[in-house]
Structure 1
Amino acid sequence: MTTLTDRPATALLVIDVQQGVVDGAYERDAVVSNVKSLVDRARKEDVPVVWVQHHDEQLQQGSPEWQLAPELSREDSEPLVEKTFGDSFEGTDLEDVLAASGVGHLVVTGAQTDMCVRSTIHGAFARGYDVTLVGDAHTTEDLSEYGAPSPDLVISHTNLYWGWQGGPGKSAATVNTVDVVFEAPHGGE
């Protein structure tokens, strides 16, 4: 149960599944397929789908790399949040978008695990949201040449620790695509 008042709804958050972000990412096709299946399910169940797209000097707004992965398409009625920081809440209207729909629970997918996904799940949790990370619907590129663990270990570690995250009055969980339930958690720690 979220600490946000009068926010019983759930939304699917799709973070940075953009051509220039996921091209070459670990298990890209499987992850994008899982994201697509969740988007399709959310639409059928009337769950809001909120799209986040990053832009900066390397990822220019409107460029082919900035576009969503070609397997995905945003409906005009679905909010698009454009960001320039890792945390999807920082310097954006994401909080306003979610509040307008009464959302207190986020089901999170996207890229990159060790950057924007991680920043956003922590940012959401710190703001009082219940946060479910979809363990097989986020990915990252191989940054091992810079000292990072391999992508499979980054993803595995993130899934592991997020499943044990806790806080008063709010919950965190890691589930796979097939186990996603689009309803607010009951309880909290």
Structure 2
Amino acid sequence: MVLLVVDTQKLLVNDQLYNFNAFTKNIENLISAARKNNMEVVYVVHDNGKGSSLTKGEEGFEVYEDFKPLEQEKIFTKEVNSSFRGTGLLEYLKDKNEKEIIVVGLQTDKCIDATVKCGFEHGFHMIVPAYANSTIDNEYLSGENSYKYHNEFMWNERYAECISLDEVIKKIKNHNTIES
């Protein structure tokens, strides 16, 4: 089991996100629990390419300060919504014989949606902790409605196991017991 932290970059992590305070607190708690229980934390960052504020070398590209990866933690870079396409992440996880992925980050209706569905298609058991992904309002849905649609309707029992933060932290602690 790994904790996959997707697109939690400075440009994207801001108070326009639905349920911002719970979102940031929950991710901090999950990263902390994973590290305390010797579970690998893997990061994926999005690069929009030259001329964008979301490209390598720009301040907005860097991981949000409260979620910063440790030196030994892996970071994969993507250029599309799915964390698995062309990043090396899929091969890395398959080589490690990983079966379960806890996925958190941004944005619910874009990269998290693609990552959950693609992870499922690649045979992973995807676990989505409550209020550990978020998005902003768009012209069709509020951030809240988009979050609820994906987490409560679209993914749960189809593509992922969408469960409470406490249940995920229990899984993390049990993982440490099983691995030891």
TM range (shorter): 0.7 to 0.9
Q: Which residue of 1 aligns with 2:99?
A: 104
Provide Cα deviations, 1:34-85, integer angstroms capped at 9, x if missing partner.
Answer: 1111011011111111101001143121211111112112011111011000
Give 2:122's match in structure 1, choosing from 119, 127, 149. Answer: 127
Structure 2: 5+ residue stretches without partners: 176-180
Q: Please tell me the residue identity of whatever aligns with 2:63.
A: L
Q: TM-score, normalised on structure 1?
A: 0.83
Q: Structure 1 residue aligned with 2:156, among 149, 152, 163?
A: 163
CA distance in 1, matches of 2:7, 2:35: 19
**2:60 match:** 65
What is residue 163 of structure 2 aligned with on the other side? 175
- Superposition map of 1:42-121 within 5 A: 42-57=34-49, 58=52, 59-121=54-116
Q: Paired residue for 1:20?
A: 11
Normalized per residue, the structure richer in helix is: 2
Write the distance in 1 (CA, Å) between the matches of 2:151 and 2:21.
19
What's the CA shift for 1:95?
Answer: 1.0
**More divergent stretch after superposition (55-64 vs 40-49):** 55-64
Q: Alpha-carbon deviation of 1:101?
A: 2.7
Count residues with an aligned counterpart: 167
- Spell out the pairing of 1:32-43 with structure 2 (5 A cutoff): 32-43=24-35
Which residue of the partner structure matches residue 178 of structure 2?
none
Q: Which amino acid aligns with 1:40?
A: S
Instruction: Tell me the amino acid that sits aligned with residue 152 of structure 1.
Output: E
Q: Over residues 164-189 of structure 1, what are the superposed CA-to-partner deviations in whole Å (9 max), with x where a residue is unaligned?
A: 216xxxxx2101212101368xxxxx
Q: Which amino acid aligns with 1:22?
A: V
Contact 1:22 1:140 in 2 (8 A): no
Amino acid at match of 1:149: L
SS for the counterpart of 2:69 is coil
Cα contact 1:113–1:140 (8 A) shared by 2:
yes
The alignment-based identity, stated in percent, is 26
1:101-155 CA-partner distances (Å, limit 9, x unpaired): 3211001100000000000000000010000111210000111xx2x21111110
